[in-house]
Structure 1
């Protein structure tokens, strides 16, 4: 075990001679980080896209309760995650936590899984946003262009913003997030203010028989997918104003906001149509029921605005995931896993500009492959890639919970039972149950294809296992994962 007298870990090459060029700088507070991680969750996309499917294929009017269940499980995860934050000085998020707790092999494997997960979820949204932009433009009389041209334009704008200082992205995301959340809240208030539809406000979310009806496992599966991105708070550690306080506050705030927002909004949608009709209506028009609800309760202008904000919601998610992914590349470049140039920061923007360009390049390559293969942007690109990402992120959170338990048992630097044993154990059990549901229903997430479902599982398993092989092949890579020292003098959060 390392002690506080151990020398700080170093990296190779230019990192030693020019440390400033390998550091990110910023003064992000909790609010700015919350904006970025909530934007990654794409609230309006979840409301308009996941709600109808979760209701129709899951547990019907009891579906809103699944967001409460998911929020509670992730809160257990967050307790251990934030307790360990002060002992993990590297801004590598999952792979730094897992590597510190479980060793370099597990850390490097989780880094590969994280890269695959964030790149695939970003690719999924790239496909969806191209389709929606084309649909929106043609709907207003514009030219009918191939969806991938719109995707290319979004990719270029995202790359430009990702190249510059993180605070520019934060401001853009703030504006877009306020707009998309605002229109949904207007809808929620309108439905609740009118007392719901003909059947009144739904009580299904607090009725055990309704919550457990239908297929609650599938409902929980779609609910947990709506939280992807909230866990990325730690990746902005180097750009936070006060990491030991900012990261925990941002993590809890993001989780609470997402949980309450999704639960109330799903309940409002169910209430608007009634418990007896919501499943039928959702199944009949999953892509348009939320917009139809806005038109009925708020008016046609609100419905038009929601369609536009649906597109901006996807763009906000892409930008947020781009920022997270580029910081993974940056961290891996700084620790010798990837070429050192990936770990260079821009002298003026203090941004991971090389890593951002790599992220854009990989995204462009992924979309090019999809276009050449002739894949449908929604039915194939979005569903397949989102399925891979959902499983990958849950695997990473489960491993992070295990890493927390092992780290605190091994080091003894924090002996608070709730933060270091009870909550992480409950999170581990909850995430394990969710992972079983995801794996069992992976073919459903992959468009109904068993072959693709198995292939996605094998891809993630191979990436994770490759971490141990990489650790042996590159003995100096990510050496900091085994030499990071606990910050015993930092205040407990």
Structure 2
């Protein structure tokens, strides 16, 4: 790490509670239930989605065993870049870093677009105010930059509010179902016939995507207090909180209707609204609409922070222009990298606004597909890195933690990647040839990262451990 303070993030700025909330904000639990998990209920494993969530939790716990062990060895704002490079070499680290940077930048833009879309719907439906979606999206983008300018502690305060309201609404709904329809809760959702029936592979992918970003605590390692201990604690805590919430809420949705699958198949996007309105009353509709908008804004904040820190780390290590590695002299935040991230979001929003396109129909499918493939690849490569590092004696620990668990996780994640490729139109919700071709951008990014790492001089190379 460069000894010049102008290229260092503020140390000890983030506590474990802040990290947990930032991770939860990335996953956006409310929107995950309303989108990925509702799609799994409709077209995946049906009510067996509840059981699939438990299996996915097991997969992610197995992955986390090695991931957390590596977090104690490597602390870097470009987490996957350093983690994958640690075991698989700098070229693979460079390739992975550019893949992650592209995916997280697009995800940040996508979340801002979603804020604009759902904010427009809410204002139109409940206040009769017609504000164009792109205006709201640009305002949200500007707000993420402002929050990022002052640091992740401000974002943490925003995420506290969003997370508390999200969990309160989901918990209130689930409790209402328990009170009014207790007989709907059946252990059959965990039966092998339910779990493995239907399109099991598709259900696994949708469930994994619902946890996407839970491992992001490592990105705040340089700013965290007691990073080598708290990154692991935050990762496990966020994973368990999300898993318990998803299982309870999806079980409640399955119990809420005589035929929840049929309701989901009729309109997956309206499933959560219909369920919550039916059990909590008509007042819940406007509140839920507002909460979904804020949920996407919290996700935009978190993805902005992640993308900025990736670009900051890559610039510091020679992959991107050096100026992006500078930090604000007072707040120690990666303002130049955050500004580039702001520009990326604007460049994404403006063409869609000019074309008058529906952002959810056009942009969101592209983001979901690219993000899905990128995250699966990064997690699988990270698992392979742990096994390789252990074989080379660069990391030590129990055999389960550094060899067995990462090997199992790598195989499981690669299998999920194969399912994503095989079912790409279902994952993205689009059969457009353009959207189907967009994942090639990940290949281009990886090739650039590979050769950028190859051409760097020894003095530019980062200390990965």
TM-score (norm 1): 0.90
Offset at 1:365? 0.9
Q: Corresponding residue for 1:49?
A: 35
Does the residue aligned with 1:63 lie in a helix, a strand or coil?
A: helix
Question: Which region of structure 1 is more displaced relative to structure 2, 285-294 or 261-270?
Answer: 285-294
- Asked if the contact 1:337–1:478 (Cα under 8 Å) also holds between the matched residues in 2, the reply is no
CA distance in 2, matches of 1:420, 1:478: 29
Q: Which of 98, 104, 119 is matched with 1:112 structurally?
A: 98
Query: Quick check: 1:330 aligned with 2:312?
Result: yes
- Asked if the contact 2:51–2:191 (Cα under 8 Å) also holds between the matched residues in 1, the reply is no
- Asked if the contact 1:66–1:223 (Cα under 8 Å) also holds between the matched residues in 2, the reply is yes
Q: Corresponding residue for 2:359?
A: 377
Q: Which of 210, 218, 228 is matched with 2:194 structurally?
A: 210
Q: Corresponding residue for 1:427?
A: 409
Q: Which blocks of at least 5 consecutive residues in structure 1 are unaligned?
A: 1-9, 486-493
Q: Corresponding residue for 1:32?
A: 18
Matches within 5 A, 1:59-458: 59-196=45-182, 200-274=184-258, 277-449=259-431, 451-452=433-434, 454-458=436-440
Aligned pair in 2 of structure 1 residues 412, 119: CA closer, same or farther (>3 Å)?
closer
Aligned pair in 2 of structure 1 residues 373, 105: CA closer, same or farther (>3 Å)?
farther
- 1:106-159 deviation line (CA, Å, top 9, x unaligned): 011101100111112222222222111111001123322321111011111111
Offset at 1:473? 2.9
Offset at 1:416? 1.4
Provide the alpha-carbon RMSD of the alignment.
1.8
- Asked if the contact 1:76–1:427 (Cα under 8 Å) also holds between the matched residues in 2, the reply is yes
- Asked if the contact 2:37–2:210 (Cα under 8 Å) also holds between the matched residues in 1, the reply is no
CA distance in 2, matches of 1:56, 1:332: 41
Offset at 1:21? 4.4
Offset at 1:476? 4.6
CA distance in 2, matches of 1:348, 1:387: 38
CA distance in 1, matches of 2:79, 2:460: 13
Q: Which blocks of at least 5 consecutive residues in structure 2 are unaligned?
A: none
Offset at 1:30? 1.5
- Asked if the contact 1:123–1:382 (Cα under 8 Å) also holds between the matched residues in 2, the reply is no
Question: Which region of structure 1 is more displaced relative to structure 2, 253-262 or 300-309?
Answer: 300-309
Segments of 4+ moved more than 6 angstroms: none
Count matched residues.
Answer: 465
Offset at 1:450? 5.9
CA distance in 1, matches of 2:359, 2:460: 37
Q: Corresponding residue for 2:453?
A: 471
CA distance in 2, matches of 1:108, 1:419: 25
Offset at 1:322? 0.7
CA distance in 2, matches of 1:371, 1:268: 38
More helix, by proportion:
2
